[in-house]
Structure 1
Amino acid sequence: MNAIAIDEGARSTRRWSRPALSSETMILLACAWFVLACNGPFWAAVQRAQASTALAVSLGVAMFALHAFLIGLCAWGRAVRPLLAVLLVTTAFATWYMDRFAVVFDADMMRSIVQTDPAETRELLSPSLILHVLLQGALPAAALWLVTPRQLPWRRQLKRRLLFLVATLALAVGALLPVSQGVFGLMRGDPLLRYRITPGNFVVSGARALAQGDAKAALGPKRPIATDAIQVPTAATRRPRLLVLVVGETVRGDHWGLNGYARQTTPALAARADLVNFPDVSACGTSTAVSLPCMFSPRGRAHYDRAAIAGEASVLDVLANLGISVLWRDNQAGCKGVCDGVETQAMSSADDPALCHDGRCLDEILLRGLAERIQAAPGDQLIVLHMLGNHGPNYFERYPAADEHFTPTCRTAELSRCGREEIANAYDNALLYTDAVLDQLIELLAAERERDIAMLYVSDHGESLGEYGLYLHGAPYRVAPRAQLHVPMVLWMSPAFSANSRIDTACVREVAREPVSHDHLFSTLLGVFDVKTSAYDPERDLFAACRDSPEAV
């Protein structure tokens, strides 16, 4: 009887014991899951391209083998299960955003993700995201801990892993060679296709972002620029000047009422006869992380070098070093290093129940105490107001509920669940609010009589609202749609500013008819404050050709 009981106990133990799998087997199972369950956007793109069954199968085999090869290079010993678990969960996050917003995980997107602030992260969370990550990421990751890793002597493990790497690489090559022409054709037809292969897209792009070294450059002391800059004449020999530069967020030019949009989204600005609108303005990038540093750099898009821009001072430093008062007021996720050397006020943390909620403030917060700040600083001033603007996907939270004009609106962060009209309505309501804030700002500035004052508004980049299946922004620059690159820009000058700066407003209106870009900002700021330097380019100064007696700046 005891023998029978012991035998039953032994069989029960064997029945509930964890299966033992080698590291290589676990990697192969995870890669099969990635290819079959986590690449919906990739397979949808392949289907849209009408790829043959043979080509699709070959691509699947190659994806499986290449992921196994790359993971096999990195995951050894006890690190296999934790690394696979992290990959499974992060891949679930990535596929959700790719599926809902058509997010493209290139190096710029990875940098933007790292710089995302908690308020923005909180807005992007949703019940469906959490459920998706639990089912597609957390459950498979938990299953790894139901498996006992098979331990082998290190010599045998090394030999086994080398054979594994050779076999997976050979399998990838063998799968791709017969269909190489078809693969190249797919890539030419859809340049974003390789960014849809998950998790390879965000892993490789993240590594590329680190290798490009701009983060390291930004941490060290910044190299000075325009070291020969002087100001002639200074504010001591003329009336002091104030330029308020408003950096908009995520505003696309074709939804800007002043640009001829079917809806009047800028009624207050359109009623002003003293405004100059620039209808054809190109952004330096498709994300804040790219555009902001580029806008304030002498390199611009024409000579764009991410690492060099990150390691150099900006035009704000040049002006501040000349004694010009520079203030950056931020209602966003920071200035991306542009304002590190100047006075900064983070308005998004302001304690104003009427305008602020859950770590976010409406853009009117940027005007609170602004008049007092202007009065307190003597001499020339540059004030930059960094707006929250139309930052998505929660467009419906970017304006007061009482000001909702276009209805019905999309009231969820999951834009793919809304109709195009609902998304556009919420987006355009946010534009109406920006119009109202800019109008209030101009009224505030017009009341100041002791300075020559101008206001320049320009958005950092545009936004996709579902066209071509794309939402939000951040597409690679070379293939980005115009919606993410065409931005609005408007200029207001007080009569004293244009008169004392000898600027012909009619001439500026003619200049505004021509295409301009973020690259004009650097030299325009220098010209406004009479700064002479070899870094100044008169062809990039919006006012240079319109000064009655232009001098070399």
Structure 2
Amino acid sequence: MNAVSRDAKKRPEAWRLPLQIWSEFRPVLSQEMLALLTGVFLAMSANTAFLREVHATGALHGAGGALAGACLFVLVVALNTLLALLLFSRWSVKPVLAVLLPVSAAAAYYMDHYGVYFDTGMVRNVLQTDLRESSELVSPGLALRVVVAGLLPAVLGWKVVLVRRSAGRAVLIRAGAIMLAVAVAAAAALLAFQSLSALMRNHHEIRHLITPGNYLVSLGRVLADDGAARNVPRKELGIGAHVAAARAGQRPRLLVLVVGETARAHNWGLNGYPRQTTPQLSRLDLVNFPDVASCGTSTEVSLPCMFSAYGREDYAKDKVHNSESLLHVLDRAGIAVAWLDNQGGCKGVCTGLPFQSYEHADDQDFCNAEGCLDGILLKGLSGRIASLQGDAVIVLHQLGNHGPAYSRRYPGAFGKFLPACESSALGDCSRGRVVNAYDNALLYTDDLLARTIRLLGEQPGRDTALFYLSDHGESLGEGGLYLHGMPYAIAPDEQKKVPMLMWFSSGYAGSLALDVSCMKRKAAVAGASHDNYFHTVLGLMQVSAPEYRPGLDLLDGCRAGRGG
């Protein structure tokens, strides 16, 4: 055997070389150095949305802008390093990296692409998201971001050989590293105090973009709040509630409450939107409210709030969730109540009351493996109504325009506005395609409401009415924002302004001595909000209860004998 062949035999085959390099890659690092590298990496890879928003505020402009920007970056690095130092130990460091880095990469993706802020409300929404909703939020872009900025760095972390120290020396070095991180953070904050203090004072919501502290702090608050709430008994409402005495010959009343999902007022045809997204409703005799504000920008906040006795200004999650709802008041007054759901439940609003979910129903007309269309809510509704005794309220909770997969919210026959975005990764579509899909879903809601009204109008021996109100709106790319759930103080009107309408049969309006023309005039000029919902529904059912406030009842002033 010659020398050349011997040398060739010693060299690994070309395809084995990367594997050999990877197997021999075993960097030796202390936990403190690994914490610093983690802090730098997170500041660079997971905080682009934060840095971009800071720049957009103008805080980095002017002569001291460069210094403020550098100090802000050092501050984020120091804070992330401090977090890692507090979480790392000989046994936890690698499992922490395996979770922290991929989750931070996913959070950064949603902040970058949808304008998401990870405050307590958004974290609570994430925890409430079911498998179907989660699958719609997964995209190739998300997978790539998680692999490149999450899984690969986590794998590198597993390859690190940690420096071993005695217990006493390890404690001293860790304490010194923590104090150094705190000192660096404090020094960076002091050097740019004027710019940073003004930034946080005028744009305090921006802190919910600092990753991973945003979702970790919010998660801790959510778990603490929910744990404390479980130990508090629910406050009873409507003690002594009763229905006003019926007039002679008055027929039983049925009120259908349709709770919309993610419908925004801007795209509502009845509100003057250039596209006619409500063609069937426009031909009916309705009371439309063009200026209505939601209580929140997510279902988790808005749904319990609108059914509560507390308005937005008096809103507190613990207070609302630890209190009975409008439906319990109606039930206590002797009115039959039922909740029919094609969404993620009633968020505690209907606890202890009749509830039926169609979210995963087995129905070949309306359902597939991904869920059910809202038309399922009307299937069998006539039979349910026929079995009712006395006054009743039925709630229909829509899937509506729940994003980002708007194209899955309507059957093909309602694909009027084309081409429509058929992807749940909204960034893959032009804004026009996204709006087309969203508007098509509104057309389907228009059909659902019109069919419900026709069904109610055909009920013999019963006076009927319908009250539709969406829980919150949606951003469709305005200002680079998509979906919903932004902190209310900085959320755009697209997420806060919602459609609302009422329909009355002649018998129902007569039973209330209601002047519908007066209602139309009032709706056209007066603003409304979710705060009105609780009291207006009580007024519609003529329920007297301690919590009822006539001034918030939208019918007030339009009943015979009360002006208008």
Match of 2:190 in 1: 177
Match of 1:27 in 2: 35
| AA in 1 matched with 2:45 | A
Q: How does 1:134-533 map to 2 (within 5 A)?
A: 134-187=147-200, 190-211=203-224, 213-214=225-226, 216-217=228-229, 221-233=233-245, 238-272=250-284, 274-513=285-524, 514-533=526-545
SS at match of 1:502: coil
| AA in 2 matched with 1:533 | A
Tell me how far 1:201 sits from its aligned partner.
1.4
Match of 1:84 in 2: 97
Change (3 A) 1:57 1:249: same
- Alignment deviations for residues 81-117 of structure 1 (CA, whole Å, 9 cap, x no partner): 2112211010011011111111111111011111011
Match of 2:3 in 1: none
Q: Distance in 2 between matches of 1:219 and 1:333?
A: 24
Change (3 A) 1:315 1:263: same
Change (3 A) 1:347 1:490: same
Tell me how far 1:53 sits from its aligned partner.
2.5
Is the contact between residue 324 and residue 379 of structure 1 (CA under 8 Å) also seen in structure 2? Answer: yes
Which ranges in structure 1 are unaligned for 5 or more consecutive residues? Answer: 1-7
Is the contact between residue 214 and residue 310 of structure 1 (CA under 8 Å) also seen in structure 2? Answer: no
Tell me how far 1:386 sits from its aligned partner.
0.5
| AA in 1 matched with 2:236 | P
Q: Distance in 2 between matches of 1:79 and 1:311?
A: 37
Match of 1:104 in 2: 117
- Alignment deviations for residues 326-376 of structure 1 (CA, whole Å, 9 cap, x no partner): 111111111111111211110112111221122411111110101101111
Match of 2:130 in 1: 117
Does 1:548 pair with 2:553? no
- Alignment deviations for residues 462-487 of structure 1 (CA, whole Å, 9 cap, x no partner): 00111111110001011111111100
Is the contact between residue 218 and residue 310 of structure 1 (CA under 8 Å) also seen in structure 2? Answer: no
Q: Distance in 1 between matches of 2:561 and 2:89?
A: 71
Q: Distance in 2 between matches of 1:201 and 1:332?
A: 28
Count residues in correspondence: 538
Identity %: 45
| Bigger mean CA deviation after superposition, 308-317 or 190-199 | 190-199
| Bigger mean CA deviation after superposition, 431-440 or 410-419 | 410-419
Q: Distance in 1 between matches of 2:208 and 2:24?
A: 42
Is the contact between residue 239 and residue 546 of structure 2 (CA under 8 Å) also seen in structure 1? Answer: no
Change (3 A) 1:544 1:189: closer
Q: Which residue, 32, 50, 53 being the options, matches 1:45?
A: 53
| AA in 2 matched with 1:42 | F
Is the contact between residue 41 and residue 98 of structure 1 (CA under 8 Å) also seen in structure 2? Answer: yes
Match of 1:5 in 2: none
SS at match of 1:411: coil
Q: Distance in 2 between matches of 1:316 and 1:182?
A: 49
Is the contact between residue 235 and residue 379 of structure 1 (CA under 8 Å) also seen in structure 2? Answer: no
- Alignment deviations for residues 431-460 of structure 1 (CA, whole Å, 9 cap, x no partner): 111101111111111100211110000000
Which ranges in structure 2 are unaligned for 5 or more consecutive residues? Answer: 1-9, 11-19
Is the contact between residue 238 and residue 328 of structure 2 (CA under 8 Å) also seen in structure 1? Answer: no
Tell me how far 1:192 sits from its aligned partner.
4.1
SS at match of 2:107: helix
Q: Distance in 2 between matches of 1:173 and 1:410?
A: 48
| Bigger mean CA deviation after superposition, 80-89 or 285-294 | 80-89
Change (3 A) 1:278 1:251: same
| AA in 2 matched with 1:523 | H
SS at match of 1:45: helix
Q: Distance in 1 between matches of 2:449 and 2:300?
A: 24
Q: Distance in 1 between matches of 2:379 and 2:497?
A: 30
SS at match of 1:456: strand
Using the size of structure 1 for normalisation, the TM-score is: 0.93
Match of 1:4 in 2: none
SS at match of 1:111: helix
Change (3 A) 1:214 1:550: farther
| AA in 2 matched with 1:364 | G
| Bigger mean CA deviation after superposition, 317-326 or 179-188 | 179-188
SS at match of 1:457: strand
Match of 2:15 in 1: none
SS at match of 1:145: helix
SS at match of 1:448: coil
- Alignment deviations for residues 158-198 of structure 1 (CA, whole Å, 9 cap, x no partner): 21111111000000111121111122344456554322221
Q: Distance in 2 between matches of 1:256 and 1:528?
A: 24
Using the size of structure 2 for normalisation, the TM-score is: 0.91
